[in-house]
Amino acid sequence: MLVDSCKLPRDEVIETEVCIVGAGPAGITLAREFIGQKFRVCLLESGEINFNHKTRSLSECENIGYPPFLGLKDMRHRQYGGQANLWNIQINDQQIGLRHVPFDEIDFEKRDWVPYSGWPFSRSHLNPFYERAQSICKLGIFAYEAEAWEDVESPRVCFRGDKLTTTMFQFGPSDIFTKEYRHEISQSPNITTYINANVVELETDETAKIVTRVRVACLSGNKFWVAAKIFILAAGAIENARLLLMSNQNQKAGLGNHNDVVGRFFMDHPLIRCGMLFPKSRKIFNSMALYDLRQVNNCSVMGKFTLTQQVMRQEKLLNMSALLFPRDEKFQFSGNERAKSETIASVKILVSAIKYNKIPKKALWHFGIAIANINHLLSFGYENYFNRKQQYLFPNLSQGGWSYNKDNEQKYVKFEVLSQTEQAPNRNNRVTLSDIKDRLGYPQPRLTFYWNDINTDSIKRTQKIFAEEFANAALGELQIEPLEGNVKISTHHNMGTTRMHLDPKQGVVDENCQVHNVSNLFIAGSSVFPTGGYANPTLTIVALAVRLADRVKTLFS
């Protein structure tokens, strides 16, 4: 059943056994695993079935640090289906979706060169849950090695050394989370979904060791409570931390924050321009289909270059991948595009400062960037004012299929190389509460984010490895894009603010995703990740949600 919270009686108390906060992929997976169980489930979603601009305003977030972390409002999409509503990869003629890949074994390990690294369990422990997540996300076989997808006409690149290898992405549809699973859940008699339901506080007993109920507010002015035996936060890394920090009635620092860990260790997957790869022969464009987004055995896949675990250990590197996109001779991403991106970033910071009557750091520098590049600002404003959708001029992160063309040898001369990289955990990259209030009268989150030397050093060395290995494999010459001034684009993969650790002094949740010292509160989603690797997090989010669902079921057996 689906209920509009705005129409509930004021100050009602809803009784249930399990309360899930957030109907994104994590919350939806949990609810779907609970279909037909003997206990009742309440699924609370801040947004509606359709997008609502007023609800979106609740995702405003204060931004502190450098470089500026852009797109914060879009990182918490308040709509049934969560971020799945924003997935934009054209995976085939009929479907929009997302790339999926499990984390590597090394991502779960404690690495002496990565501070605060190490999960409470290994990749092998999670593999059975990955296989179940594979089915939930409607992917192909559970195989991400090149051998499972290459053929004579689309072979992988053979590297002479042991530093690089080819691994695969698989692509799954978004509408399973935005539509299909919503219908399944709404038809289950033991599950009730409430839309327009904004959880603003977790209420506890006097000891702050048991959550008794959650306070829910609607933009319409209505308020109500949900009382349950088990509570699960599945609202995303920023919102999960914010809710714990706001729930400070009986624990002043915030619920589960005895050791000042809640909100810390925020991570993302920065996307950087690795450089331009110029093949020795243009015939290579006819043999690189494995690295294009295409259909193989009724599954959409795409090859990528990744560091081997051996070289990561030998050279103490963070995890990183590289994607290839063919370009013609006129394509450039140099001064103009970089200046445009920097200008937009500076203007957004200045506008935010004016809105909140605050002087940003490096205000004169940002103002100078905006004035010096006013032409780029006008171009950006024109495009947005007329809502003009840019056509896909080149293969990119959202669209592939170039390998099906017959004239690639004549059309393309180089590859643009884009890299998605791991970001080392950093205690000082964190979510706290802002002095600014949202439309419901509660503190907005404040994100403090800085780019550290460990990330920079690892990327620079990895770029050189890519260049060396591409040359040794006779693939071509990689002209490296200097990291200084390189625009680091957020992939909106928020992770780490309620990290998992056996020691309460180093983590918010234990190995079962239960908040330390709170007996009936669990957290789902990427906020529990101790480290983030380079891999898109959704498959791991779903795998952990399935694992948590099994745990919750045992509590009622």
- DSSP assignment string, 391-404: P--S-BTTB--GGG
- pLDDT of 392: 43
**pLDDT, greater one: 369 or 86:** 86
- pLDDT of 354: 65
With cut-offs at 50, 70 and 90, classify the pLDDT of residue 407. Answer: confident
HSE-up of 436 (CA within 13 Å, CB side)?
19
Average pLDDT over residues 254-283: 94
Contact (CB, 8 A) for 547 and 121? no
User: For residue 304, which amino acid is it?
Assistant: K
- pLDDT of 51: 87
- Beta-carbon contacts of 357 under 8 Å, excluding residues fewer than 6 positions away, are none
Q: Which residue, among 533, 532, 527, has the nearest Cα to 548 in the 3D structure?
A: 527
- pLDDT of 369: 56
Residue 492 per-residue DSSP state: -
Predicted confidence (pLDDT) at residue 396 exceeds the cutoff of 80: yes
Predicted confidence (pLDDT) at residue 485 exceeds the cutoff of 70: no
Other C-beta atoms closer than 10 Å to the C-beta of 278 total 15
With cut-offs at 50, 70 and 90, classify the pLDDT of residue 429. Answer: very high
Q: Which residue, among 534, 510, 526, has the nearest Cα to 266 in the 3D structure?
A: 526
- pLDDT of 487: 59
- pLDDT of 231: 98
Domain residues for the domain of 273 are 2-334+392-555
With cut-offs at 50, 70 and 90, classify the pLDDT of residue 397. Answer: confident
Position 339 in a domain: no
**pLDDT, greater one: 160 or 509:** 509
Q: Which residue, among 557, 426, 439, 441, has the nearest Cα to 497 in the 3D structure?
A: 426
With cut-offs at 50, 70 and 90, classify the pLDDT of residue 152. Answer: confident
d(CA 164, CA 466): 8
With cut-offs at 50, 70 and 90, classify the pLDDT of residue 335. Answer: very low
What's the pLDDT tens digit per position in 51-99?
Answer: 888 888 888 888 887 655 666 676 778 999 999 998 989 998 888 999 9
Encoding tokens for residue 145?
A: 């090695």
Predicted model pTM: 0.89
HSE-up of 76 (CA within 13 Å, CB side)?
27
Position 291 in a domain: yes
Percent helix, strand, coil in the chain, to 5, is: 30, 25, 45
**pLDDT, greater one: 500 or 73:** 500
Position 188 in a domain: yes
Position 246 in a domain: yes
Q: What are the CB-based long-range contacts (under 8 Å, 24+) for 370-373? A: 370/343, 370/346, 373/339, 373/340, 373/342, 373/343
Predicted confidence (pLDDT) at residue 380 exceeds the cutoff of 50: no
Average pLDDT over residues 541-553: 98
The dihedral through the CA atoms of 419, 316, 430, 18 has a sign that is positive
CATH number at residue 193: 3.50.50.60
Contact (CB, 8 A) for 476 and 280? yes
- pLDDT of 557: 83
- pLDDT of 70: 60
Asked which of 110-114, 383-387, 478-482, 497-501 is least confident by mean pLDDT, the reply is 383-387
Average pLDDT over residues 403-423: 92
Predicted confidence (pLDDT) at residue 107 exceeds the cutoff of 60: yes
d(CA 545, CA 30): 6
Position 372 in a domain: no
User: For residue 132, which amino acid is it?
Assistant: R
Q: Give, in degrees to the nearest 5, the angle at Cα 356 between 352 and 359.
A: 75
Q: Domain count of the chain?
A: 1
Predicted confidence (pLDDT) at residue 367 exceeds the cutoff of 70: no
Encoding tokens for residue 90?
A: 């054209």
- pLDDT of 92: 85
With cut-offs at 50, 70 and 90, classify the pLDDT of residue 214. Answer: very high
**pLDDT, greater one: 364 or 404:** 404
Position 543 in a domain: yes
* Bridge partners of residue 227, in order along the sequence: 15, 213
Position 516 in a domain: yes
d(CA 214, CA 217): 10
Asked which of 333-342, 420-429, 435-444, 537-546 is least confident by mean pLDDT, the reply is 333-342
What's the pLDDT tens digit per position in 114-126?
Answer: 999 999 999 999 9
With cut-offs at 50, 70 and 90, classify the pLDDT of residue 451. Answer: confident
- pLDDT of 24: 95
- pLDDT of 362: 54
User: What is the rounded average pLDDT for all residues in the chain?
Assistant: 89
Position 26 in a domain: yes
